[in-house]
Every structure is written in structure tokens, then in C-alpha cells.
């Protein structure tokens, strides 16, 4: 998609859909937009935790995009990190006893 001046019919000059029109209408060409969510987070303790997060995110996104996006086709992608590859407050999260305890409790 190329950004350009909108000629008033929902297309940028040159016949390419204008990004501002897609945002306003929720459509690119004749198709409704398809929301995508990227989750950048510590590794979840189990599959049930991932299922619950997907259901929660999907419901929230479907509500937010209702009426102008394809909410039947929301894509949620996980990029999970082990605690030894995540840092906050100047230390690795694998060395933070509060985080380690919380992740252990979530796994039970």
C-alpha cells in the first residue's frame, strides 16, 4: 500500500488504496481489515494459560474492531521469552525472586 493524496473515491492518486481511507473505512480494496496482535512477553507456564490469553485478547479485539473489521479472523502471534532473556530494573527476571515465584505459582 502506498500513501498519497486521496482523490475522494477512497484511493490514492495512481489507484492504490490510501492508508488513511483503510483506517477510516476498515477496508482495503473490497476486503475488511484483519486485526493482528503481537504478544511480546515472558514464556507462559502452560498451554491453558496461552488459551486463556488468546480468548481474552480475541474478545477485547473483536469488541474494539466490531463493525469495521473482520473480527472472525483475528490473528494473535506469540513471541515468548524465557526469564533469563528478559530484564527489568537492571537485572534479569530469572534473578528476580518475586517474578520467579509468580511464574511458579502460575504454573501450578
Instruction: From 36, 33, 28, select the one nearest 11 (Cα to Cα).
Output: 28
Q: Which residues of the chain have pLDDT under 70?
A: 1-30
Q: CA–CA separation, 47 vs 57, rounded Å?
A: 15
Per-residue pLDDT, 7: 39
Same domain for 38 and 78: yes
Per-residue pLDDT, 107: 78
Per-residue pLDDT, 25: 60
Q: Say if CB 25 and CB 68 are below 8 A apart.
A: yes
Taking the CA atoms of 2, 13, 20 and 28 in sequence, report the sign of the dihedral they define.
negative
Q: Say if CB 22 and CB 33 are below 8 A apart.
A: yes
Q: Are strands 36-42 and 75-81 parallel, antiparallel or unpaired?
A: parallel
Same domain for 69 and 20: no
- Which residue range is the domain that position 5 belongs to? 1-33
Q: CA–CA separation, 43 vs 104, rounded Å?
A: 12
Predicted model pTM: 0.65
Q: What are phi and psi of 7, to 5 degrees?
A: -95, 15
Same domain for 38 and 15: no
Same domain for 24 and 39: no
- Total domain count, the chain: 2
Amino acid at each position: 500500500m502506498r500513501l498519497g493524496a486521496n482523490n475522494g473515491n477512497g484511493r490514492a492518486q495512481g489507484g492504490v488504496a490510501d492508508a488513511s481511507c483503510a483506517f477510516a473505512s476498515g477496508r482495503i480494496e473490497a476486503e475488511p481489515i484483519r486485526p493482528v496482535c503481537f504478544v511480546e512477553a515472558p514464556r507462559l507456564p502452560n498451554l491453558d494459560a496461552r488459551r486463556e490469553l488468546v480468548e481474552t485478547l480475541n474478545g477485547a479485539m473483536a469488541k474494539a474492531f466490531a463493525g469495521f473489521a473482520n473480527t472472525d479472523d483475528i490473528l494473535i502471534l506469540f513471541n515468548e521469552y524465557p526469564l533469563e532473556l528478559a530484564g527489568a530494573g537492571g537485572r534479569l527476571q530469572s534473578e528476580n525472586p518475586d517474578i520467579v515465584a509468580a511464574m511458579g505459582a502460575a504454573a501450578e
